[in-house]
């Protein structure tokens, strides 16, 4: 079976040999799409490790499963093959799980993740180490990093080790609201990381599980950088300097502290996080990459789209409205959630095209696409 990379390379070759020559060096990559990309863009996506540190296989399956109690990770071979065409090598399909039954729900989620990989070993790799990440890329398989967008399931310090043994490699300390560990981004008062939370961070450091503060409140976010002895991640957020006052964006102080810890920040692709005004464009998104690079250094920025390959606006109306209603008004949802250019399966090709237009060099683009997250995950995991 041809790998995804081989497929894309064959597709490019077919355009070169059978199609009309275009002086711009632009070629179609996806069947059924008239979009064209430069050979430089195609090479950067196809021949770079591409890591999206908050990337979901199917938003519709997740929200449907949440409503019905079903399994959000049931996919056919055909669906997985379609996902492979995106150019993304490694997905971090974490969801927010909270409440009194979080422990049992996360157990079921981990079982579903491990079961999906076991069902399709020729297509999927569970990424639990740096070697696994490299193997996924080398073998042209989809890498899955098991993680959770909350830590409510850690009822005790021992739970950290137990879930690490099940394969969990990333845990967000809080979602949007207070838990036993700390405060969330939409809490009115942020008391910072609790004594229990400090013990959880220490346990995560010990086993090599990445600490994620994407949804944490400001004080809790800064506390994590002070307490953790390993780099701390912001897997999917944006820059508050560019979207004044938004609770899901991070201050420059937090971004600088993240860099001092050795961490990496993934930029999310939700228009209400990217700009307070319309239009919200691909260039608006790249402004956030630029800002982190200026404030913290290019080696500390990556991708954390916070979406699946088709985006939120393609969800059935009732699901989309239920989603919006589940967040506080401070999220500031507008009529549309997605950003044009980042709301389709070929979004990594559009992103690279935009970075090229912005003047980024090839080695810088490779770092943003996945090199930075690959480096820091290896450091956190210790192997």
Q: Judge whether 300 and 288 are in contact, CB under 8 Å.
A: no
| pTM of the complete model | 0.91
**Helix, strand, coil percentages in the chain from 3-state DSSP, rounded to 5:** 45, 10, 40
Please give the C-alpha separations between residue 86 and each of 92, 123, 301, 309, 310, in angstroms, as whole numbers: 15, 14, 21, 8, 11
State residue 313's pLDDT score.
95
Q: Which of 163, 182, 162 is nearest to 173 (CA)?
A: 182
State residue 3's pLDDT score.
37
Q: Which of 2, 285, 323 is nearest to 140 (CA)?
A: 2
Q: The tokens 């080696």 sit on which residue?
A: 299
* Residue 212 neighbours by CB under 8 Å, 6+ apart: 147, 149, 170, 171, 172, 173, 232, 233, 234, 235
CA distance 106 to 320: 24
CA distance 267 to 172: 16
Q: Which of 32, 29, 34, 3 is nearest to 15 (CA)?
A: 29
* Residue 233 neighbours by CB under 8 Å, 6+ apart: 53, 170, 210, 211, 212, 213, 214, 258, 263, 264, 265, 266, 376, 380
Q: Judge whether 237 and 272 are in contact, CB under 8 Å.
A: no
Tokens of 344: 């389709």
State residue 28's pLDDT score.
66
Domain 50-381 CATH superfamily: Metal-dependent hydrolases (3.20.20.140)
In the chain, residues under CATH classification 3.20.20.140 are: 50-381
Q: Which of 152, 151, 218, 224 is nearest to 186 (CA)?
A: 218
Q: Are strands 301-303 and 265-267 parallel, antiparallel or unpaired?
A: parallel
Helix (H) or strand (E) holding 143: strand 142-144
State residue 264's pLDDT score.
98
CA distance 24 to 22: 5
Residues of the chain with pLDDT under 50: 1-24
157 CB burial (10 A radius; 0-12, 13-18, 19+): middle
């Amino acid at each position: 079976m041809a790998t995804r990379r081989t497929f894309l390379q064959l597709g490019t070759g077919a355009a070169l040999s059978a199609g009309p020559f275009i002086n711009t060096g632009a070629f179609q990559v996806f069947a059924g799409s008239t979009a064209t990309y430069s050979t430089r863009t195609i090479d950067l996506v196809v021949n770079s490790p591409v890591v999206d540190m908050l990337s979901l296989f199917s938003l519709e399956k997740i929200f449907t499963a949440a409503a019905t109690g079903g399994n959000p990770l049931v996919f056919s071979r055909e669906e997985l093959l379609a996902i492979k065409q995106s150019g993304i090598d490694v997905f971090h399909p974490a969801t927010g799980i909270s409440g009194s039954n979080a422990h049992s729900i996360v157990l079921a989620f981990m079982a579903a993740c491990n079961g999906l990989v076991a069902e399709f070993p020729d297509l999927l790799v569970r990424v639990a180490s740096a070697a696994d990440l490299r193997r996924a890329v080398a073998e042209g398989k989809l890498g899955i990093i098991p993680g959770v967008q909350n830590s409510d399931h850690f009822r005790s310090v021992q739970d950290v080790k137990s879930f690490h043994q099940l394969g969990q490699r990333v845990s967000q300390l809080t979602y949007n609201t207070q838990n036993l560990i700390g405060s969330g981004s939409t809490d009115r008062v942020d008391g910072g990381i609790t004594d229990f939370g400090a013990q959880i961070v220490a346990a995560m450091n010990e086993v090599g599980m990445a600490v994620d503060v994407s949804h944490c409140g400001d004080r809790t976010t800064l506390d994590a950088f002070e307490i953790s002895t390993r780099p701390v991640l912001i897997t999917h957020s944006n820059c508050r300097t560019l979207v004044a006052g938004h609770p899901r964006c991070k201050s420059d102080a937090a971004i600088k502290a993240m860099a001092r810890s050795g961490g990496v920040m993934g930029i999310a692709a939700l228009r209400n996080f990217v700009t307070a005004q319309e239009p919200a464009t691909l260039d608006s998104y790249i402004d956030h990459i630029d800002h982190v690079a200026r404030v913290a250094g290019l080696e500390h920025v990556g991708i954390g789209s916070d979406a699946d390959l088709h985006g939120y606006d393609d969800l059935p109306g009732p699901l989309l409205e239920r989603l919006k209603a589940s967040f506080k008004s401070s999220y500031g949802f507008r009529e549309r959630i997605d950003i044009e250019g980042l709301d389709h399966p070929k979004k990594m090709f559009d992103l690279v095209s935009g970075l090229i237009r912005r003047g980024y060099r090839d080695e810088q683009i490779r770092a943003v696409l996945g090199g930075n997250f690959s480096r820091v995950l290896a450091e956190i995991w210790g192997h």
